[in-house]
């Protein structure tokens, strides 16, 4: 790929968005930042505009868009500022965009991801919730639109890097995949004491620096549950082909067990710039800026099974995949509501799992086999309402 790649970064003010700009800044001859989007952190967005001079930016909220518009005008920048959900989809599908980095957190990222997929973009997917909610519909949009879907989640990038490039031969070669998990900050904590942990303790991840929502998901291991569902769709595997093992050092990012028993693994320091650089440059490789792995400084690589008493939510991935279509979308919505309530100190840490369970019990997805994006958005909304009721029920 020699032409300049024109890039839109959805969620540029977040952790993955910022790391993407770090990699891009190392290669000004390869990438042009055409569009950026943010939700709340207007100051960060304005600073990014100063540095990368995108053609346009998008914010969901009109008032925040107005703030950014006047700040950019004051800086003499000609960046257009748009607002609203449709503007996000328009940017993801725009003719002057080659690649879309999907780094919004949560199901809010699904509509622009679908737009990028339908428009046949190179779609760099960090936003795992979009695939967990979108499932088969998302994968069909990728196929029908002729898009190239490149996983950015470190585990899925690892699997992708271990697989041959011809995806049609994957099924015949893979026995199973093993997703590694760090175990998060509570890997060794007594399960009986987990109800008392605070948001500050839950977001203090031992190995990775990430946004708040995914950090809480790592502490409950719901992040791994979402990743199991993500892997099912990305690599077209049956759920029982997907295994999870705790690997506290976060050096092996995941593994493929081949039909013949050979195991392929991808290793590196825990730094999102590596999978991001791979997605940006695939099938080539470029400097990522991540620190190199020093084998002689490694004490050991160890592995242990996840304890279901400590991480009861992990099993929900396989349960939801075995349940009627749409159940994974219900689980995702419940978890988003529950994590937000935990971060707001409205519920305890172990209540996240209770809300997820109660929401799954309360709601039947009732999706038809030819469901649409609107059906999924409707299901997401109904699931959030059911999760809110479950929250209220906990307090009662």
Residues at the interface with ligand NAD (CB under 6 A): 11-17, 38-40, 60, 103-106, 108, 126-129, 153, 208, 210-211, 213-214, 272
217 lies in the binding site for Mg ion (CB under 5 A): no
Q: Which stretch binds Mg ion (CB under 5 A): 7-15, 69-77, 129-137, 147-155?
A: 147-155
Q: In the complex, which residue's CB is closest to Mg ion? A: 153
Nearer to ligand NAD, 244 or 358 (CB): 244
Contact 158, 132 (CB under 8 A): no
Residue 39 binds which of Mg ion, ligand NAD, none (CB < 5-8 A, kind-dependent): ligand NAD
What would the two tokens of residue 237 be? 């595997």
Whether 213 and 339 have beta carbons less than 8 Å apart is answered as yes
Q: How far apart are the first and last CA of the chain?
A: 59
> Closer to Mg ion at the Cβ: 38 or 181?
181
What is the nearest approach in angstroms of ligand NAD to the Cβ of residue 223?
7
Number of H helices, E strands in the chain: 16, 11
58 vs 358, which CB is nearer to ligand NAD?
A: 58
Task: Say if residue 131 is exposed, middle or buried (CB neighbours under 10 Å; 0-12, 13-18, 19+).
Answer: buried
Is 118 or 128 the residue whose CB approaches Mg ion more closely?
A: 128
CB of 298 to Mg ion, least distance (A): 21
> What minimum distance in Å lies between the beta carbon of 280 and ligand NAD?
15
Residue 35 interacts, among Mg ion, ligand NAD, none and using kind-specific CB cut-offs from 5 to 8 Å, with none
CB of residue 348 to ligand NAD, shortest distance in Å: 22
CB of 369 to ligand NAD, least distance (A): 27
Which residue, 7 or 221, has its beta carbon nearer to Mg ion?
221
Of 200, 216, 290, the C-alpha closest to 251 is 290
Q: For residue 102, what are the CA distances in angstroms to 112, 113, 157? A: 8, 7, 14
Long-range contacts of 336-339 (CB under 8 A, 24+ apart): 336/106, 336/107, 336/129, 336/213, 336/384, 336/387, 337/384, 337/387, 337/388, 337/391, 338/387, 338/391, 339/213, 339/216, 339/217, 339/222
What is the distance between the alpha carbons of residues 35 and 241, in angstroms, rounded to a whole number? 38
Nearest distance from residue 139's CB to ligand NAD, in Å? 17
Question: 20 or 154: whose CB is closer to Mg ion?
Answer: 154
SS3 190: coil
Helix (H) or strand (E) holding 338: helix 327-343
State which residue, 104 or 390, has the beta carbon closest to ligand NAD: 104
Comparing every residue's Cβ against ligand NAD, the nearest one is 14
Query: Could you say which of Mg ion, ligand NAD, none residue 179 binds, taking C-beta under 5 to 8 angstroms by partner kind?
Result: none
Among 153, 271, 336, 351, indicate the residue that binds Mg ion (CB under 5 A): 153
Contact region with Mg ion (CB under 5 A), list: 115-123, 151-159, 186-194, 388-396? 151-159
Residue 210 or 290 having the CB closest to ligand NAD: 210
**Which partner from the list Mg ion, ligand NAD, none does 11 bind, CB cut-off 5 to 8 Å by kind?**
ligand NAD
Q: Total residues contacting Mg ion (rule CB under 5 A)?
A: 3
38 binds, among ligand NAD, Mg ion, none (CB under 5 to 8 A by kind): ligand NAD
**Measured from the CB atom, is 5 or 182 closer to Mg ion?**
182
Neighbours of 3 (CB within 10 A): 7
Closest to 108 (Cα-Cα) out of 331, 314, 332: 332
Which pairing describes strands 122-125 and 148-151: parallel, antiparallel, or unpaired?
parallel
Specify the DSSP element, H or E, that contains 81.
strand 80-83
The Cα–Cα gap between 3 and 99 comes to 12
Least distance from ligand NAD to the Cβ atom of residue 27, Å? 20
Chain contacts with Mg ion (rule: CB under 5 A):
153-155
């Amino acid at each position: 790929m020699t032409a300049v790649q024109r890039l839109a970064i959805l969620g540029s003010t977040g952790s993955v968005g910022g790391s993407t700009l770090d990699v891009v800044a190392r290669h000004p001859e390869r990438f042009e930042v055409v569009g950026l989007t943010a939700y709340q952190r207007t100051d960060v967005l304005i600073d990014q505009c100063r540095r990368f001079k995108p053609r346009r930016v998008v914010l969901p909220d009109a008032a925040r868009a107005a703030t950014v518009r006047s700040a950019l005008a004051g800086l003499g920048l000609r960046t257009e500022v748009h607002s609203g959900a449709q503007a996000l989809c328009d940017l993801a599908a725009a003719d002057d965009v080659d690649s879309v980095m999907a780094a919004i957190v949560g199901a809010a990222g699904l509509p622009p991801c679908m737009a990028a997929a339908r428009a046949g973009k190179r779609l760099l997917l960090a936003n795992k919730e979009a695939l967990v909610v979108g499932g088969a519909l998302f994968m069909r949009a990728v196929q029908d639109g002729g898009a190239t879907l490149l996983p950015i989640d470190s585990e899925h990038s690892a699997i992708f890097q271990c697989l041959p490039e011809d995806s049609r031969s994957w099924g015949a070669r893979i026995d199973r995949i093993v997703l590694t998990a760090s175990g998060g900050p509570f890997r060794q904590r007594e399960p009986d004491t987990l109800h008392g942990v605070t948001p500050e303790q839950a977001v203090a991840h031992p190995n990775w620096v990430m946004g708040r929502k995914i950090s809480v998901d790592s502490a409950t291991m719901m992040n791994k549950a979402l990743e199991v569902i993500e892997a099912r769709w990305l690599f077209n595997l049956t759920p029982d082909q997907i295994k999870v093992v705790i690997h506290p050092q976060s050096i092996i990012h995941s593994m493929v067990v081949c039909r013949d028993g050979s195991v392929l693994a991808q290793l590196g320091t825990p730094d999102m710039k590596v999978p991001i650089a791979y997605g940006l440059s695939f099938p080539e490789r470029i400097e990522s800026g991540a620190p190199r792995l020093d084998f002689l400084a490694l004490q050991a690589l160890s592995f242990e099974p996840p304890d279901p008493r400590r991480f009861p939510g992990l099993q929900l991935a396989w349960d939801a995949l075995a349940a009627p279509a749409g159940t994974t979308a219900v689980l995702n919505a419940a978890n988003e509501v529950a994590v937000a309530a935990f971060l707001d100190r409205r519920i305890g840490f172990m209540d996240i799992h209770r809300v997820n369970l109660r929401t799954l019990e309360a709601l039947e997805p009732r999706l038809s086999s030819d469901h649409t994006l609107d059906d999924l958005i409707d299901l997401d909304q109904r699931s959030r309402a059911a999760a809110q009721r479950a929250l209220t029920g906990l307090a009662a």
